[in-house]
Structure 1
Amino acid sequence: MLLMAWLSLLAFVWLGEGNPLVGLFDPACFVMRGECPNKNVTFWLYSKSTRDNPILLDPLDLNPWDFQPPRPLKILIHGYTGYRDFAPNSFIRPVLLDHEDVYVISIDYGPLVRYPCYVQAVQNVPLVSKCLAQLINNLVDRGIVRNEMIHLIGFSLGGQVAGQATNHLKRKLKRITGLDPAKPLFILGSDTRRLDAGDAEFVDVIHTDVLGRGMLRSMGHVDFYPNFGPQQPGCMEENPTDPGSCNHERAPRFYAESINSTVGFWGRQCSSWLVHLIGLCSTRAPQALMGYHVAEDVKGSFFLKTGSNTPYALGKMEDVDNSRHLAKFRLSPEHNEVDHDFEPQLLEAFLELEDPENHLKTDVDDLEKQLIWTDQAEDEPLS
């Protein structure tokens, strides 16, 4: 798996804005500690009637009339370098308000995730998550919004915010959607630090930049891999200087289109990313709809193709019988998943950023030594 490691290395460690170490020693970068509410984490409520004049919510003094009549609540969480009008909000919120009878809360924690402060942004995620959980707990405890009506939708770092917020919730949420959840500095963390299937009754994830900013491993009850995950069609033309950023942003774009698509994004099930890589997926396996209208009883990994420009959805795939080809191979379903060790990793020592003042004194050479790309020959799946 050395090739995969080097591809990932080029994708998000050494390329400009994709480098998680840029800004590590920038004096303008800071880590915020403290209690919630916090002035750097704000919540803006949108509805059809207030879409141009959203309500700034006070988590400790919520007005029940702001949520009347009762409707489902979608909470959108931006990522690194974002704010309340940044992805996924800029793509998803307008479509939701146009086509669904819902309330939308857009979180804004932009001051805590400014460029080039990625390492500090990761350290600020626990505070953001705690403040989000405080808001949700107060909404539910006061009977303003029913717990089963709340749906978190997090993009990039926001996907990991959603996962960590569940550590502080009094009740398990019904659904969380992860839109290409952030990879750098989250690979070796425990499940309490990143989004996983245990965080809600149903967790669906869309992976669009698996060799760069986003995770390769499956993370939810159902995981979708458009265009296999590493490179999205049209991104080299749309952003030739940083196609990874375009790949990453395709996740909220696809999700927004899925809300009112007439044909839908349909993926075909395969046991794993690796089996799909070597062309051993059945072309008659079940298909599932990706995005906003995904069926909550769907489980597993699904793969699909999209267009290079909007509209991206291509509808259902044609069933082709490749059973004779597959019969040549004896596949064991228990042993064809991608082991998590094959995704490029950062040392746990580098991930535990509980002491930023001491950590920032570390020499750059020492940090570079802590970057380890695993290649375990004994577990090599293609040998």
Structure 2
Amino acid sequence: MRAFNVILTVILFQLNSLCANPIQGLFDPNCFVAKSECPNENVTFWLYTNATANTPVQLDPLNLQKSDFPVPRPVKILIHGYTGHRDFAPNTFIRPVLLQHEDVYVISPDYGPLVREPCYASAVQNLPLAARCLGQLINNLVEQGIVENEDLHVIGFSLGAQVAGQTANYVKKKLLRITGLDPAKPLFITAGNDRKLSKDDADFVDVIHTDVLGRGMMHPMGHVDFYPNFGYIQPGCEVEAEPGSCNHERAPRFYAESINPRQEFWSTRCSNWLYFILNICGVDSNDGMMGYHIDRR
């Protein structure tokens, strides 16, 4: 009986710690699964540059204007997660730093109506639509010669990381790089690779895990997976009222900091999970840099 009580307590704690409770909203009449038609009124795309940081241009995937992309530059696509929108994480952390330090275009998809609280279960069902519409935009940008495929970098946070992975199902050319920032876990643990981020989705997939005991996936998903602070105890979060939410959000915050070339996050390679758990991976070695400037070789 004691063991049962302990297990039950852990399970209840995990459910209570998850803002993205997959059960919540199942019978809410305001939750819906949208029709899979692109373009879609529930999925919009916003272009940011240094000149339009406060006045973004809304892109029409079927009527793209080369004048909105006057000079060739890399394109960073930032995808929000559950309950989010284009001015929500990771955009609020990463977009201003990108525009400050890099000469890039930033596209922020907004599929907020599809991922409203408390509709997590229907939000997961709506991800293929968001991915399909993003794939349509990417295909048109590349086919019309507005953007080179090798200049595209897709960055997704939480559910947005799973959207990034699903986008690979709809692009005609394989993406060069996808970055997953604490990819969402609820309803994805047993999902196939076509439904969640995996290393098959781009030539290079890097993932940062910061809340593996709560909202984020634990197992490796990319070519390189980083687990700062063991992936679950992030500095400053232990004093927060909702430490899980704080841990989860640390992934885009870390990534934003890594864009500044003076900020380096060095990591140590670990050969297996046992060594990782026992913290015997060789803490004195610098095997790779986490974040924006990662060495992809």
Question: Please, what TM-score do these two structures have when normalized by structure 1?
Answer: 0.74
Report the AA paired with residue 54 of structure 1. P
Q: Which residue of 2 aligns with 1:372?
A: none
C-alpha displacement at 1:286, in angstroms? 4.5
Q: Which residue of 1 aligns with 2:54?
A: 52
C-alpha displacement at 1:30, in angstroms? 0.7
Q: Distance in 2 between matches of 1:286 and 1:266?
A: 6
CA RMSD of superposed structures (Å) = 1.8
Report the AA paired with residue 282 of structure 1. G
Could you tell me whether the CA contact under 8 Å between 1:12 and 1:18 is conserved in 2? no
1:291 correspondence with 2:273: no
C-alpha displacement at 1:134, in angstroms? 0.2
Report the AA paired with residue 84 of structure 2. G
Q: Which residue of 2 aligns with 1:269?
A: 269
Report the 3-state secondary structure (helix = DSSP H, G, I; strand = E; otherwise coil) of the residue aligned with 1:14.
helix
Change in Cα spacing, 1:4 to 1:284, as seen in structure 2 (3 Å) is farther
Q: Which residue of 2 aligns with 1:39?
A: 41
Q: Which residue of 2 aligns with 1:123?
A: 125
Change in Cα spacing, 1:109 to 1:3, as seen in structure 2 (3 Å) is farther
Report the AA paired with residue 137 of structure 1. N
Partner deviation per Cα, 1:236-257 (whole Å, 9 max, x = no partner): 22x22x1100100000000000
Report the 3-state secondary structure (helix = DSSP H, G, I; strand = E; otherwise coil) of the residue aligned with 2:268.
strand
Partner deviation per Cα, 1:317-351 (whole Å, 9 max, x = no partner): xxxxxxxxxxxxxxxxxxxxxxxxxxxxxxxxxxx
Q: Which residue of 2 aligns with 1:15?
A: 17
Report the AA paired with residue 25 of structure 2. G
In the alignment, structure 2 segments of 5+ residues that lack a partner are none
Report the 3-state secondary structure (helix = DSSP H, G, I; strand = E; otherwise coil) of the residue aligned with 1:244.
helix
Give the percent of matched residue pairs that are identical in Structure 1 and Structure 2. Answer: 63
Report the AA paired with residue 265 of structure 1. F
How many equivalent pairs are there?
294
C-alpha displacement at 1:74, in angstroms? 0.2
C-alpha displacement at 1:11, in angstroms? 5.0
Q: Which residue of 2 aligns with 1:320?
A: none
Q: Distance in 2 between matches of 1:44 and 1:154?
A: 15
Out of 98, 101, 112, the residue aligned to residue 99 of structure 1 is 101
C-alpha displacement at 1:278, in angstroms? 1.8
Q: Which residue of 2 aligns with 1:147?
A: 149
Out of 183, 186, 191, the residue aligned to residue 185 of structure 2 is 183
Q: Distance in 2 between matches of 1:49 and 1:247?
A: 33
Change in Cα spacing, 1:54 to 1:117, as seen in structure 2 (3 Å) is same
Q: Which residue of 1 aligns with 2:69?
A: 67
Partner deviation per Cα, 1:77-127 (whole Å, 9 max, x = no partner): 000000000000000000000110000000100000000000000000000
Q: Distance in 2 between matches of 1:98 and 1:258?
A: 13
In the alignment, structure 1 segments of 5+ residues that lack a partner are 298-383
| CA radius of gyration, larger in | 1
